[in-house]
Amino acid sequence: MAANKTVVSRPSKTKLLTGVELLHDPRLNKGTAFTEAERDRLNIHGLLPPRVFTLAEQQWRIVENLRRKESDLEKYIGLIALQDRNETLFYRTVIDNITEMMPLIYTPTVGEACRRFGHIFRRPRGLYVSIKDRGRIREVLRNWPDEQVAIIVVTDGERILGLGDLGANGMGIPIGKLSLYTACAGIDPAQCLPITLDVGTNNEELLEDPLYMGLAQHRTRGPDYESFIEEFVEAVQEVFPEVLIQFEDFATQNAVHLLEVYRDRACVFNDDIQGTAGVTLAGLFSAGRIADLKLTDQTILFLGAGSAATGIAHLIASAMVGHGMAEDDAMRRCWFVDSKGLVVASRSDLAAHKLPFAHDHAFIPDLLGAVEALGPTALVGVSAQPKTFTEPILRAMAKRNERPIVFALSNPTSKSECTAEEAYQWTDGKAVFASGSPFDPVTYQGQTFVPGQGNNAYIFPGVGLGVIASGARRVTDAMFHAAARTLAEDVDESLLKQGSIYPPLESIREVSANVAVSVARVAFEEGVAPGPVPADLAERVRLMMYQPNYPEYA
């Protein structure tokens, strides 16, 4: 399909729907952009104000109204309402104003939206599959109106961003992620399905909230949980063959376990583990260009040792091996400080996912001591503990490195290990900084730094598009290596000079297309996609990207 031509996702409804029904269908509704001829033909004359507006004029009205709202949560509610009534206008507005809109439809605002989900609920989106649906999950999935689902984002709501157990309120995360799949990588919204698995919640505040919309019971654990997930995955594979499943915001023990169980049985990945790893690895590639460090020269110290942190470390280590380093040496370049102190071999209290990084070293009880003893080139925060990169810690990093790499990746902003301003001030302007949520530019001693945002949106939409474009049956680590390399290659020298280690968000659709091509090529080369690499792969990927333009009603 040509880039300036829109194909209606459900052509049969273009012929069948008229009148109010048409205006109430968000995929087909054009609102005040229906022409006079269309209004007559479709029996909507008089149901709209008489003036005909262009898509650009409608977008102007939306942006103007959003900017008048007093809080980001109100803006979020306004955007979701727009998505519910006019999908094309929603995506056109988000894409054309991506830097302004992404923090509203996803982190950090989506965190507050999830916390208050039952209180701001307007209209259902996605599917809720509860533990009480065991034995009939296939039937529930078949209630979804679109048959051509290509990607599912699913959560059980236990570890929403850095906010913890939000139960069924976590539905805001799959909705937001899939909005980014469409906005950032052009995956048709008709192919996207958000799902929340409701197994209860251990959040007592929610259980006492009369407006909480999930099951008012404590979380199901153990064999019952395992069999529920098994039935869900099998049902998805039957109802939506060849679909890509993205696990999102599961607690560490379940996130690691589910990825291990299903990665070789289904087309799945975990964005918290692999997507975060990909964007962090890309950041290290770019930061290394500023600090004049090869990847194999780096030693990385993590604050936090959950599934995201160890996932990052595994991908970094495997990338180091790809650059010629022995595996044992590569693993020893990654160190962790958890809530008890340095992760070392002598500790007897370590969870299984930490053991590969439990190296022989004297135990150190705190992060500052670990920085001073290990001399890391990079400090990566994935702890969800704010203000933990203190001034003494960052000054210790700066003392040991000409350009210390500081990634405060915890989301939302309130959970960030330090702010951009703190990172630059406490390292005397030497830090190469990135964060999980956005920070404004910082001017320090006459130099303006534009901090990079290590946003998974640079990785997962392109990975998803590449998997769909290639027809891959599995998602492999090599795909995330390729995604990270491609993302880093899209950072030019002018960006590095201002301290930015990621491309500007305004270019994210082009970045996602490049990532998708690289991922698809790996899928063909590894044999997890059928056939050889197509000669016109890049063109194919770009032509399949959804463009939010209004259809013409003949």
DSSP sequence for 129-155: EEGGGTT-HHHHHTTSS-S---EEEEE
Q: Which tokens belong to 201?
A: 């919640």
First to last CA, the chain: 18
177 is catalytic: yes
Angstrom distance (rounded) from CA 330 to CA 497: 29
Cβ(295)–Cβ(288) below 8 Å: yes
Q: For 150-174, what is the HEC assignment?
A: CEEEEECCCCECCCECCHHHHHHHH
Give the distance, in angstroms, between the CA of residue 216 and the centroid of all CA atoms in the same chain.
Answer: 28
Angstrom distance (rounded) from CA 25 to CA 541: 28
Beta bridge partners of 380: 302, 407
* 3-state class (DSSP) for residue 15: helix
Give me the half-sphere count of Cα atoms (radius 13 Å) on the Cβ side of residue 15: 2
Give me the half-sphere count of Cα atoms (radius 13 Å) on the Cβ side of residue 471: 9
Nearest-CA neighbor of 281 among 359, 334, 339? 334
Q: For 77-128, what is the HEC assignment?
A: HHHHHHHHHCHHHHHHHHHHCHHHHHHHHCCCHHHHHHHCHHHHCCCCCCEE
Task: Using alpha carbons, list the distances in angstroms from residue 398 to 236, 281, 295, 333, 501.
Answer: 50, 21, 19, 19, 18
106 is catalytic: yes
Angstrom distance (rounded) from CA 77 to CA 65: 12
CA angle 131, 133, 137 (to 5 degrees): 115
**In sequence order, what E strands does 180-291 have?**
192-198, 244-247, 268-270
**In sequence order, what E strands does 285-440 have?**
300-303, 334-338, 341-342, 378-381, 405-408, 432-435
Catalytic entry in 91, 106, 424, 502: 106
Mention every residue, 6+ apart, whose C-beta is less than 8 A from residue 543. 1, 2, 3
* 3-state class (DSSP) for residue 302: strand
b/e burial code for range 328-358 (CB count within 10 A of at least 16 → b): eebbbbbbbbbeebbbbeeeeebeebbeebb
Angstrom distance (rounded) from CA 479 to CA 1: 26
A 10 A CB-CB count for 294 gives: 12
Nearest-CA neighbor of 502 among 310, 285, 299? 285
What single DSSP character describes residue 405? E
Catalytic entry in 30, 75, 91, 177: 177
Tell me the catalytic residues. Answer: 106, 177
